[in-house]
Structure 1
């Protein structure tokens, strides 16, 4: 409940845009995806996502990430999207590379040296 209230507050304060992921026509939540940690000028944001393990490798997050990136670049006019993932999370890294994110080799996650950082600039 605390997590839900936190997301609700951050959404109302426009600090985060949060989507639930489910199969069309089914109410069960199977994952989430969000844009958050917006820069002061609102030109850069971080994308975060999670999906229940039973739904991995089905193209669901590929579809969700594509939609969120289109929204971020076209509706919010973002210029750059960042993604932080654990260096051992190969599936997440492959998802990001599939969407043309670039590994920022000299960067690590904030307060987490096990993270790697990817970025995607707005396509022209």
Structure 2
């Protein structure tokens, strides 16, 4: 991919993150309620947000991942991110990840975003399988994936090690043949 694709939904614009977005990224990544189920500790300084944006953009440039900043059409302020990592072109699969600032939880924003991102994954990236790994207690994320018709495939016991403990994850997947445009 040579240029970063901009995607639009009814209420949102998904675009490449820039260092100008570091304040918004820092603001919500510094909240424990956002990082509770994330493989990052809550941020304590803005440099962490700047480094994360740089890492996501470098991974895009090297065709390893793509992460969109989620902005409201009414204002160009980042309220979350969504994208693919663990991208295996030769295996036609990727893992989806996302987060949203709590002010916008339970308003259908993430469902709207994920639907657009998976449409792009299947139609433009040539993916056949999109996976999501979710901690069992992350009911918000599990509910969103269920709405979009991801299938729960099972629990991977002690799948990740973070915050000094082993963590189970529930694996969800959506196959291209089962994908229905909403």
Q: Normalising to structure 2: TM-score of the pair?
A: 0.64
- 1:89 — aligned with what? 138
Structure with higher helix content: 2
**Residues 62-77 of structure 1: matches in 2 within 5 Å?**
62-77=111-126
Give 1:113-124 correspondences, 5 Å limit: 113-123=167-177
TM-score (norm 1): 0.92
Determine helix, strand or coil for the equivalent of 1:123: helix
- 1:53: which partner in 2? 102
Give the superposition deviation at 1:100: 0.9
The aligned residue for residue 8 of structure 2 is: none
Residues 156 and 168, structure 2, Cα contact 8 Å, conserved in 1: no
Query: Residues 109 and 100 from structure 1, CA distance in 2 versus in 1: closer, same or farther, beyond 3 angstroms?
Result: farther
8 Å contact 2:155–2:168 — kept in the other structure? no
Count of aligned residue pairs for this structure pair: 124
> Which stretches of structure 1, 4 residues or longer, exceed 4 Å deviation after superposition?
none
* Alpha-carbon distance between aligned partners in 2 of 1:40 and 1:70, rounded to the nearest angstrom: 16
Higher radius of gyration, 1 or 2:
2
Structure 1 unmatched runs, 5+ = none
Q: CA RMSD in A?
A: 1.6
Partner of 2:71: 22
